[in-house]
Amino acid sequence: MPPESRDPAYLWDMLHAARDIRQFTADVSFEQYMKNKMMQLAIERQLEVIGEAARNVSEAFKKAHPEIPWKQIIGQRNILIHELRTIDHAVFHP
């Protein structure tokens, strides 16, 4: 089944946000990460982008790719957006 017309754009957003996270955190220890509020906010923002894009990917594409944890990605986005005080930064640092 061909993807919905917007799916490639959402997947592109997810890929580039993930690459940004990888670039931002390259060679950064957890201690450095925890001392850098700007980095924390940048990572959180990119995770929000990934989650929002995942939320908008078509159901057909999600069903065709069950190897991707769609519910968990979207759930993490919801936590970031709605429950900022419950963020466990250890989860976000590679």
List, by residue number, the catalytic residues: 77, 82
Per-residue H/E/C for the chain: CCCCCCHHHHHHHHHHHHHHHHHHHCCCCHHHHHHCHHHHHHHHHHHHHHHHHHHHCCHHHHHHCCCCCHHHHHHHHHHHHHCHHHCCHHHHCC
